[in-house]
Amino acid sequence: MKTEGTYDVQAIRAQFPILSRKVKGKDLVYLDNAATAQKPLAVIDALVHYYSHYNANIHRGLHTLADEATAAYEASRTAVKDFVGASSPDEIIFTKGTTDSINLVAHSWGKSFLQEGDEIIITSLEHHANIVPWQMIAAEKKAILRVIPIDDNGILDMEAFKAMLGAKTKFVSVIHVSNALGIINPVEEIIELAHQHNALVLVDGAQSSVHLDIDVQTLGCDFYAFSGHKIYGPTGVGVLYGRKDLLESMPPYQGGGEMIKEVRFEHTTYNELPFKFEAGTPNIADVIALKAGIDFINNIGKAVIRKHEEMLLEYATAQLKDIAGLRIIGDVKNKVSVISFVIDGVHPQDLAILLDNQGVAVRTGHHCAQPLMHRLGIVGTTRASFAAYNTLEEIDVLTQALNKSLKMLL
């Protein structure tokens, strides 16, 4: 068995209180990180500290607590700007999550700029969050939604994409990393090709933001969306990066306090970026704690974490391939630390229950990617996904638990 070298995974694990708990009398083996990552003490402490020491509304108060809360909130915006390589904090909009970010663009930009007959392009790999909003706006505006096909391994057909592009193409919205399969899409090429046809591009970074180095200016994307809970931060907070000129051209997504400059019954003028898109009292505590999640990643280093996760992926892939009847879906080289698999004669839900009885948490089902499962001819998969705190020993536990479960099911 491989060793983990100088990577001090036990020191990292010690920062996550939940990893010490038991499930069904067994040590928890948490392998559902693509759904949500666990939270380090720094994130938990940031939440507690806000509510215990300076709980106040932001931007509008003139007292000490309001000043402190505002400073911490805006420090998170700056941290996010640096995390994704934006040129200005004004390009960072705080939302509820990736889904909310995509809906913001679809409904604000889409309602303003799409016309009948215009075309929106997505891929066969998309999460429902990057399908349904575009279906909704396409139906409203009488636009056309087109889908880039994939091969049997989940690889995008880029020749088909090139053939789709034309004068009617106005928007391309593409998942950076498949949440169901872990496959990394060639977003740089997609962006370059789309821009040649004057189409805008949104990148769904829900899965890529935690694993890959992200620089939105280098990528050249027009929008980039991700969720805090995928990067060791809290739930209920997300980010939309948008090019400043585009965000300035878009109308507010919601109306209320904070997003206004002046309100009269006859007419209302809207606030400047980024506040134009942050109506009402925001999720202050979780936005503040998001910075602690980013700091956790930065303190270790994405490249260091990625190397550890690649080792876990390689080891787990070899271990699982030794199990009779198990087939990895999306078994390609260019992927992140996600393994999605099916086993002949075994329903994923049955397998998940038996694994949970042994303390192993995985995700089963269609992974909010029903069109992808339909294309692959399967009802769903079992998905194991790895993070900074997972170990080789946990993969051994997964393998043993799978073998034990299969003896009961087959």
Instruction: Give the model confidence (pLDDT) of 30-80 as tens digits.
Output: 999 999 999 999 999 999 999 999 999 999 888 999 999 999 999 999 999
The CA–CA distances, whole Å, from 33 to 64, 283, 362 equal 38, 23, 9
Answer yes or no: is pLDDT of 3 > 50: no
Topology classification of domain 9-36+301-409: Aspartate Aminotransferase, domain 1 (3.90.1150)
The H-assigned helical ranges of 142-267 are 158-164, 187-196, 208-211, 216-219, 244-249
Q: Using CA atoms, how far apart are residues 45 and 33, in angstroms rounded to an integer?
A: 21
Taking the CA atoms of the chain, what radius of gyration do you get in angstroms?
Answer: 22
Q: How confident is the model at residue 118 (pLDDT cuts 50, 70, 90)?
A: very high
Which residue among 136, 368, 379, 392 is the active-site one? 368
pLDDT in tens, 324-366: 999 999 999 999 999 999 999 999 999 999 999 999 999 999 9
Domain boundaries, the chain: 9-36+301-409, 45-298
Q: Is 368 a catalytic residue?
A: yes
pLDDT of residue 60: 80
Beta bridge partners of 177: 184
Asked if residue 259 has pLDDT above 80, the reply is no
* pLDDT single digits (tens) 157-195: 999 999 999 999 999 999 999 999 999 999 999 999 999
Asked whether the whole model's pTM tops 0.85, one would answer yes
pLDDT over 70 for what percent of the chain?
Answer: 98
Under CATH, what is the fold of the domain 45-298? Aspartate Aminotransferase; domain 2 (3.40.640)
* Selected residue with higher pLDDT from 268 and 216: 216
pLDDT digits (tens, 9 = 90+) for 289-328: 999 999 999 999 999 999 999 999 999 999 999 999 999 9
pLDDT on residue 5: 55
